[in-house]
Chain A
Amino acid sequence: MGDRADSWVGRAVPRLEDAALLTGNARFIDDLSPLPGIRHVALLRSPHPHARILGIDAEAARAMPGVVGVVTGAELREHLNPLASAVRAPMAYYPIAIDKVRYAGEPVALVAAEDRYLAEDAAEAIEVDYQPLDAVVDPLAALATEAPVLHEEAGGNLVHHRQFAYGDPEAAFAEAAEVVRLAWRYPRQSATPMETYGAIAHFEAAPERYTVWSNFQGPFILQPLMARALGIGGNQLRLIAAAHSGGSFGIKQGLYPYLVLLAAASRLLGCPLKWVEDRLEHLSASSSAADRADEIEAAFDGEGHLTGLRFDNLVNVGAYVRAPEPASVYRMHAAANGCYRVRHIAIQNRLVTTNKLPIGLNRGYGGPQFYFGLERAMDLAARRLAIDPAEIRRRNFLAADGFPYEGPAGAIYDSGDYGKGLEMLLEIADYPTLRARRDAARAEGRLFGIGLAAGVEPSGSNMAYVTLAQTPEEREKAGGRSGGVACASVAMDPSGTVTVHLDSTPAGQGHATVAAQIVADALGLRPEQIQVDTAMDTGSGAWSLASGNYSNRFAAIVVGAIAESAGRIAGKLKAVAAELLEVAADDVELAEGRARIAGVPEQGIALGRVAAATHWHPAGLPDGMAPGLYDTALLNPAVLDAPDGADRVASAVTFGFLCDLVALEVERATGRLRIERYASVHDVGRVLNPIVVEGQVRGGFAHGFGAAMFEELAYDQDGNFLSGSFADYLCPTSADLPPLEFANYETASPQNPFGSKGMGDGSSMLTPVVLANAVADALDLDEVELPLSLDRVWRLANPETDGR
């Protein structure tokens, strides 16, 4: 499939989404008013990073004009169960503070009023009596015995600790010719979609149920968790995702506690509630990637073969462990060998709570932090062993003829040819010339550096990988977990036109277009003839735990479900048409809107007539054939098995590959980085639509570049939040980004009918480390941290000034 020269799949089909977006006709959550009587919510949030709530006086606020009501955590508590996670430490997470606030920005009270302005007025009139407590924001400081404890019940801030060994890491390190060791801090960042969180929650007493419209994007494994928090059955919580979402990059996963909060408040106040987050709320209290204090040790033999790895990961989860955390530290776990052959790996994972906002999904999800260690270590080893950084990677790559490859921690790599990608990269970037330029620049005393990085991009997550947070015995007790189910429905109506439903809640990734390309190929139609409904509704469409938009699952798994469903519709159309044409079903082909006899294209009938027969005249259908043309596929990739007793798991379905090279000069006088060249080569399997693929690569690069250069959700030592606007949290603009030279090649994945792999995260994972590698090379340093802000780089480039 997808191979035919005339297929839509693979072509640069302009996106079907674009027309509405370019004319102001696309509707986002804040544009919706799905029922009458909606009241508007403002949230009062804690100004303190850590404080006890002694009392809340909302009398004045309740009496203000236009105010419908105020709800506090203490009032909501009776109606809510805590939100669960895979971490078993005793600590309760509610969507609103109950008796203590644990980060600046934590919701303390909810106000509903006629409009948002009045709600905000009333929120200001609420008086909260706080008893401030000492705060801690640094993950290492939070481990100290004298550190302020966030959750007294948990007995300390260390809330999760597991150690793993694969192969024989002890022996690998004992026998190593060279061991490199690095310790570093990785800053906190957030992908900050341009559209913030938004939701409308509506409680109905009879029958008792909640309907919530929002821009939540899954994973829908959180739906049953939300229902439990509300104390209701799953079918009493209907989640509807708006058809358009203004970006997510994982971040909108963190919306779910707010959905629970709004739902419960809608019940208490007796009216539908709408809340749209403002930018300050988003930056201070939505979600973010984790900051970490990590260490890595890498063992090499004398020829630069990587023989052992030790990871020590210390994850700052923020104030609460919010599901699906601790997944971010387990996302790369099963593929901890990266793109290399190393078999002996030890991993220690610790999660620590601090007075920062809780972490969650964010583009790359644990990947940027993981690769920062591994790929810094590879560059460092290359320097120590005097091997070219490209060569040391080449020597360690998985062999191109060794796929599928089972990694030591259980990842099953589907396909690849990493050496080919690296050769392409070196050629595109003209590596020899860059090295000569570096020599020449250095001879003149200039600070010129080249950075390289390579890695795999796991896509289509196994929902069970997060259960590595539990011991095999705990998993055994909890019952089996595995899989990553995708759902898609294809329907042909009586007039012969097609509607597709997806469970992938896209936020700009062109899912509707690619789905239409797939269905058009299967049914012999044109993509623009297909309607694709991306407004997911758990009350009316097929969905499962893995539904949603994360882990690049669309091109890895969802496409297979679409193809399966469309294939069954095509089969039925052929069977019905065969009767009408009086030929065998095998002799019927679907093309140009007709069912026709293969090889005799002029003999055929319009698809509309075939479709009509299934709807208008079921009695005339072949014996045993069901009426209508409606099909739903629920597809689970067989490779996604449960974790085994040795903590190994096939964590993802497809493994893309990418490698990046950057050449830059550090301006000693200013600390500015002048990027000479940035090249990136990707293997995303078969490309389904080049416009979408290139867009994802460039967007991921922009996120990675911003993360490397200036993005940081900053707190002061006392826990005060310092990045409350886009003037403080600096995202890259068109003037900041250097030109990206992008190329791709294809090794087809055997995991779906198209050979495509998930993609979209890759560049966000490698761009930070490749820039750090180049700066380290330019300055001849071992230790470099992010962001590579002017002052940091200037200090590194001018060590003799001692930072002054």
Chain B
Amino acid sequence: MMRLPPGQRTRVTCTVNGQAHSGFAESRTLLSDFLRHELHLYGTHVGCEHGVCGACTVVLDGRLARSCATLAVQAEGAEITTVEGLAADEGLEPLRQAFSRHGALQCGFCTPGILASASHFLAARPDPTEAEVRDMLSGHLCRCTGYEGMVRAILEVARETTEGANQ
């Protein structure tokens, strides 16, 4: 196992949004800080650094992860998708537009994490119930919207996609 004395930086290499990235991290550097301040991917937001609010959520090796509760060195060799990567996914355009139409965002600070969770969720659960959507969203805090627009947007996109697939 690699041992890193305090204060010493090591190079962390990973794939972010399909591209090879590398930067320096200490053993204690949070993945959220590494993504933002080392790789300059500022789309990932930090709302609590306690693992509670979900703002910092990214996809890490196919799973959702709170980047504030993950160390940068844990991401060595990993594949990460942040909101910048989701933005390049044309398939998510209907979700983004539905968010906009339904008022699912206001300040948008919580939005990157919620898009990560929502897109991941819809991929696994293309035809969810409202209760399932609310349950998924309950891992995120939004102080602006009251969540209703998000629920509507996600259900609408799910319905349209499933109907499209059934035709």
Query: Hey, which chain A residues are within 8 Å of B99, CB to CB?
Result: 18, 22
> Closest A-chain residue to B96, C-beta based?
A22
Nearest CB in chain B: distance from A16 CB, A: 10
Query: Hey, which chain A residues are within 8 Å of B138, CB to CB?
Result: 733-736
For chain B, what secondary structure do more than half of its interface residues adopt (helix, strand, loop), or is it mixed? loop
Asked whether any CB of chain A lies closer than 8 Å to the CB of B106, the reply is yes
A17 to B144, CA, bound (A): 15
A508 to B144, CA, bound (A): 8
Asked whether any CB of chain A lies closer than 8 Å to the CB of B108, the reply is yes
Query: Hey, which chain B residues are within 8 Å of A14, CB to CB?
Result: 97, 100-101
Asked whether any CB of chain A lies closer than 8 Å to the CB of B67, the reply is no
Asked whether any CB of chain B lies closer than 8 Å to the CB of A585, the reply is no
Asked whether any CB of chain B lies closer than 8 Å to the CB of A440, the reply is no
Asked whether any CB of chain B lies closer than 8 Å to the CB of A117, the reply is yes
Give the segment of B36-44, B121-129, B159-167 that binds chain A: B36-44
Residues of chain B at interface, number, CB under 8 A: 56
> Closest B-chain residue to A31, C-beta based?
B42
Q: B87 contacts A702, CB within 8 Å?
A: no
Nearest CB in chain B: distance from A102 CB, A: 26
Query: Hey, which chain B residues are within 8 Å of A193, CB to CB?
Result: 107, 109, 143
Q: A726 contacts B149, CB within 8 Å?
A: no
Cross-interface CB contact of B107 among A245, A692, A703, cutoff 8 Å: A245
> Closest A-chain residue to B131, C-beta based?
A735
Interface mask (A425-468 → B, CB under 8 Å = 1, otherwise 0): 00000000000000000000000000000000000000000000
Which interface class (under 10, 10 to 19, 20 to 34, 35 or more) fits A? 35 or more
A377 to B34, CA, bound (A): 54
A245 to B107, CA, bound (A): 6
Asked whether any CB of chain A lies closer than 8 Å to the CB of B4, the reply is no
> Closest B-chain residue to A283, C-beta based?
B48
A194 to B115, CA, bound (A): 16
Asked whether any CB of chain A lies closer than 8 Å to the CB of B135, the reply is yes
A507 to B87, CA, bound (A): 22
Interface mask (B22-39 → A, CB under 8 Å = 1, otherwise 0): 000010110000001000
Asked whether any CB of chain A lies closer than 8 Å to the CB of B71, the reply is no
Asked whether any CB of chain B lies closer than 8 Å to the CB of A21, the reply is yes
Asked whether any CB of chain A lies closer than 8 Å to the CB of B61, the reply is no
Cross-interface CB contact of A731 among B103, B105, B143, B145, cutoff 8 Å: B143
Q: B146 contacts A733, CB within 8 Å?
A: no
The A-contacting residues of B in range 75-120, CB under 8 angstroms, are 82-84, 86-87, 96-97, 99-101, 103, 105-112, 115
Asked whether any CB of chain A lies closer than 8 Å to the CB of B66, the reply is no
Q: A21 contacts B108, CB within 8 Å?
A: yes
Cross-interface CB contact of A246 among B100, B109, B140, cutoff 8 Å: B109
| Contacts A23-B43, A194-B141, A507-B107 given; does A698 touch B146 at CB 8 Å | yes
Asked whether any CB of chain B lies closer than 8 Å to the CB of A69, the reply is no
Q: A726 contacts B50, CB within 8 Å?
A: yes
A274 to B65, CA, bound (A): 28
Nearest CB in chain A: distance from B161 CB, A: 18
Q: A24 contacts B107, CB within 8 Å?
A: no
Query: Hey, which chain A residues are within 8 Å of B50, CB to CB?
Result: 279, 725-727
Q: A194 contacts B109, CB within 8 Å?
A: yes
Q: B46 contacts A30, CB within 8 Å?
A: yes
Asked whether any CB of chain B lies closer than 8 Å to the CB of A184, the reply is no
Cross-interface CB contact of B106 among A27, A247, A736, cutoff 8 Å: A247
Which has the most chain A C-beta neighbours within 10 Å: B48, B53, B82?
B48
Q: B108 contacts A249, CB within 8 Å?
A: no
Q: B142 contacts A698, CB within 8 Å?
A: no
Nearest CB in chain A: distance from B93 CB, A: 10
Q: B106 contacts A510, CB within 8 Å?
A: yes
> Closest B-chain residue to A724, C-beta based?
B50
Asked whether any CB of chain A lies closer than 8 Å to the CB of B151, the reply is yes
Asked whether any CB of chain A lies closer than 8 Å to the CB of B150, the reply is yes
The B-contacting residues of A in range 665-699, CB under 8 angstroms, are 691-692, 694-695, 698-699
> Closest B-chain residue to A696, C-beta based?
B106
Nearest CB in chain B: distance from A513 CB, A: 10
Q: B42 contacts A23, CB within 8 Å?
A: no
Q: B145 contacts A244, CB within 8 Å?
A: no
Q: B107 contacts A695, CB within 8 Å?
A: no
Query: Hey, which chain B residues are within 8 Å of A699, CB to CB?
Result: 106, 143-146
Q: A726 contacts B48, CB within 8 Å?
A: yes
Q: A23 contacts B106, CB within 8 Å?
A: no
| Contacts A695-B144, A735-B134 given; does A22 touch B105 at CB 8 Å | yes
Nearest CB in chain A: distance from B61 CB, A: 20
A300 to B142, CA, bound (A): 42
Query: Hey, which chain B residues are within 8 Å of A695, CB to CB?
Result: 103, 106, 144-145, 149
A15 to B108, CA, bound (A): 12
Give the B-binding residues of A (Cβ under 8 A): 14-15, 17-28, 30-31, 65, 117, 191-196, 244-247, 249, 278-279, 507-510, 691-692, 694-695, 698-699, 701-703, 725-727, 731, 733-737, 739-740
**Could you pull out 16 A-B pairs where Cβ atoms are within 8 angstroms?**
A18-B96, A23-B87, A24-B87, A30-B42, A247-B107, A247-B109, A279-B53, A508-B105, A508-B144, A695-B145, A699-B143, A701-B146, A726-B52, A734-B137, A734-B150, A736-B138
Using A14-B100, A22-B108, A244-B108 as known contacts, list a sample of 9 further A-B pairs with CB atoms less than 8 Å apart, ordered by residue number in A.
A20-B108, A22-B96, A246-B108, A246-B110, A247-B144, A695-B149, A701-B146, A734-B151, A739-B148
Can you list the 6 inter-chain pairs with the closest CB atoms, starting with the nearest?
A: A24-B43, A21-B108, A508-B107, A246-B109, A508-B106, A23-B87
